[in-house]
């Protein structure tokens, strides 16, 4: 009596362009596993492949133990969820690219304008030097200006200020009214005096010379300060 040959599962998967998961033994098992891993890494099952696989599943199911309706619709729901997530990721990626492009165009309009960024070193130009003090609590605010050698050249008394951002300007003259050369100067600020004095964060104003994108980060090339991330801009002057 001749035994009837069963349908080879590998032919079903082959017709779909998929790798059969039928177990083998010995060295063949290891080879098959390696091949399956390579195929899984290189193949992506799309909607058409999924429908083909489901059609083959319905055609080749055991008539005495068919796939239940609940299981069938569960598979459809799972694939729909995965497909929806892929489409959502694609939409977010497009939105992110659009926002990055819009931000770059907006930043390009800043070329030639001045912005306020955190820093303790300002650039004195022919029109003076400008900045701001982040006052943590109300009190008397003073700004000290030092030259490149570290010598104190002037102290600006901003008077009593409330908590918040307090702008200041320096005309480039020392305490005796003498004009100082343009260039880099270091600034520091404090609120209060004596033992109750506390340091305050300072911002400096600089002109935007160019805009660039480095590794996905938008940066501004500021006069005298170099490259500063666009996210650090506190105010556009």
pLDDT at residue 151 in the model:
95
Q: Looking at the predicted structure, is the pLDDT value of residue 158 above 70?
A: yes
CB-side neighbour CA atoms (13 Å) of 172: 13
pLDDT at residue 174 in the model:
95
Average pLDDT over residues 152-179: 95
pLDDT at residue 148 in the model:
92
Q: pTM of the predicted model, to two decimals?
A: 0.56
pLDDT at residue 129 in the model:
95
pLDDT digits (tens, 9 = 90+) for 3-27: 444 445 455 455 555 554 444 444 4
Q: 97 or 235, which is more confident?
A: 235
Model confidence band, residue 116 (pLDDT cutoffs 50, 70, 90):
very high
Which token pair is 80?
Answer: 């729909």
> Of 54, 49, 45, 58, whose CA–CA distance to 76 is shortest?
54
Is residue 209 within 8 Å of residue 219, measured between CB atoms?
no
Is residue 7 within 8 Å of residue 51, measured between CB atoms?
no
Q: Domain ranges in the chain?
A: 8-60, 69-108, 114-236
Burial of 176 (0-12, 13-18, 19+ CB in 10 A): exposed
Average pLDDT over residues 221-228: 90
Q: What is the mean pLDDT of the chain?
A: 78
Q: Between 3.40.50.720, 3.40.190.10, 2.60.40.4070, 3.30.360.10, what CATH number should domain 114-236 receive?
A: 2.60.40.4070
Rounded Cα distance between 12 and 39, Å, is 16
Model confidence band, residue 109 (pLDDT cutoffs 50, 70, 90):
confident
Q: How many residues does the chain have?
A: 237
Rounded Cα distance between 221 and 111, Å, is 9
pLDDT digits (tens, 9 = 90+) for 32-56: 555 544 544 445 556 666 667 667 7
Strands (DSSP E) found in the chain: 114-118, 121-124, 129-135, 139-146, 152-161, 164-170, 183-191, 198-214, 217-222, 226-229, 235-236
């Amino acid at each position: 009596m001749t035994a009837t040959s069963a349908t080879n599962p590998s032919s079903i998967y082959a017709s779909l362009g998929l790798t059969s998961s039928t177990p083998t033994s010995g060295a063949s098992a290891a080879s098959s596993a390696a091949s399956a891993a390579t195929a899984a890494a290189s193949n992506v099952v799309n909607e058409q492949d999924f429908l083909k696989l489901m059609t083959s599943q319905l055609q080749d199911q055991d008539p005495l133990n068919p796939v239940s309706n609940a299981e069938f619709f569960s598979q459809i729901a799972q694939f729909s969820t995965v497909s929806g997530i892929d489409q959502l990721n694609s939409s977010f990626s497009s939105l992110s690219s659009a926002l990055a492009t819009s931000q770059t165009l907006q930043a390009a309009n800043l070329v030639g304008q001045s912005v306020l960024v955190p820093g303790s070193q300002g650039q004195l130009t022919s029109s003076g030097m400008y900045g701001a003090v982040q006052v943590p609590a109300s009190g008397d605010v003073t700004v000290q200006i030092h030259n490149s050698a570290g010598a104190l050249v002037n102290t600006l008394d901003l008077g009593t200020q409330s908590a918040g951002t307090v702008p200041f300007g320096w005309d480039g003259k020392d305490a005796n009214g003498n004009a100082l050369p343009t260039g880099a100067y270091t600034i520091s600020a404090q609120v209060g005096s004596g033992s109750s004095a506390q340091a305050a964060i300072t911002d400096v104003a600089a002109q935007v010379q160019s805009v660039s994108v480095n590794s996905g980060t938008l940066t501004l090339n500021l006069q005298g300060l170099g490259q500063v991330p666009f996210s650090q801009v506190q105010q556009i002057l």
